[in-house]
Chains A and B, each alone.
Chain A
């Protein structure tokens, strides 16, 4: 999650709850969280166009239900939850639309990475993304948050509603599977 102090978060939350400042505060929230949320979404769906659509849906839903954000949780946590739900809903909808199994969809994501022109061109980076794409959805989310975002397990626990112990176990399993992926490639 973005490195913001609790005071900054509290101040932004207070402005979001005030009618006179809610709009400007939400604009600021979009400026702060659009990039971390985008990468979280992009690593799940791979395509930039899909990630852009999902990010827009995420902020649209957040804006339309901003009165439900009571400030009990962090703003970032609330937005991450919406973004991940939107991403998983998108993947499920795509599976149904294209009549794909989960395995088929993972293979499709891996193929998309192999052919993606929006990649830096680093072979290791591409292989790593392919390995991550081969993970089951939940493990992929956990691995992405920990490895790429360096998120604390406590924050992940709040977003995903899973215990810290289960998250650690999930991350450990994910690293094992990535190792297996690289072994199979060799």
Chain B
């Protein structure tokens, strides 16, 4: 079977058919004119034909450089923020409610009397109480005697 195949192909070869055209034809002068016709329709490529140095292939460093620079920039900004934070001293302050010394001081009775009550006028307290609905009869004015005395001593316009 193989021999017969080889014989047929050998026979075709012997007949001169084992050549590129294989017995087919082209119009006269086709190959002679093809390159000229083709050259006429090829577009110009000025970018190819100008004497510009061909672009070199990108190296690995050139490819990753923008990302490295961007990462360095963010790291720099972070460091700068950390530095400002440290210099401002805020980094060392703990919140007031978690500071045991402050909490103890605020809860002590002495702090209330020395720094809060002493700073409030008895008249202000009286006004507040009146606003809340207390009547003057309900209030023991003796509590405010010192304050009233002080007021009346300095304010001589009011009749005694």
A interface residue numbers (CB < 8 A to B)? 19-20, 22-23, 26-27, 30-31, 34-36, 38-40, 42-43, 48, 52, 55-56, 59-60, 63-64, 66-67, 116, 118-120, 122, 124-126, 128-129, 132, 147-150, 175-176, 178-179, 182-183
Contacts and interface: CB of A to CB of B under 8 A. Distances in A.
B42 interface: yes
B20 A124 contact: no
B48 A22 contact: yes
B87 interface: no
Interface stretch (B25-33, B101-109, B126-134): B25-33
B12 interface: yes
Contacts of A66: 48
Interface stretch (B3-11, B72-80, B88-96, B146-154): B3-11
Contact of B49 (A22, A43, A175): A22
B2 A179 contact: yes
Closest 4 CB pairs of A and B: A125-B23, A179-B5, A39-B20, A30-B35
B34 A118 contact: no
Contact of B17 (A55, A64, A122): A122
A179 B35 CA distance: 38
Nearest to B22: A148
Contact of A118 (B25, B48, B52): B25
A184 B35 CA distance: 42
B119 interface: no
29 contacts: A19-B49, A19-B51, A20-B51, A22-B48, A30-B38, A35-B31, A38-B26, A39-B21, A39-B24, A42-B21, A43-B22, A48-B26, A55-B34, A60-B41, A118-B24, A118-B25, A120-B23, A120-B24, A122-B15, A124-B11, A128-B17, A128-B23, A147-B9, A148-B18, A148-B19, A149-B20, A179-B2, A179-B5, A183-B4
Nearest to A28: B35
**Main secondary structure on A side of the interface with B:** helix
A60 B51 CA distance: 22
A119 B30 CA distance: 15
A125 B11 CA distance: 10
B50 interface: yes
B5 A178 contact: yes
B121 interface: no
A35 B30 CA distance: 9
B90 to A, nearest CB: 60
Contacts of B19: 148
A109 to B, nearest CB: 13
Contacts of A132: 22
Contacts of A27: 35, 39
A158 B158 CA distance: 120
B35 A147 contact: no
Nearest to B27: A48
Interface in B95-149: none
A117 to B, nearest CB: 9
B1 interface: yes
Contacts of A116: 24
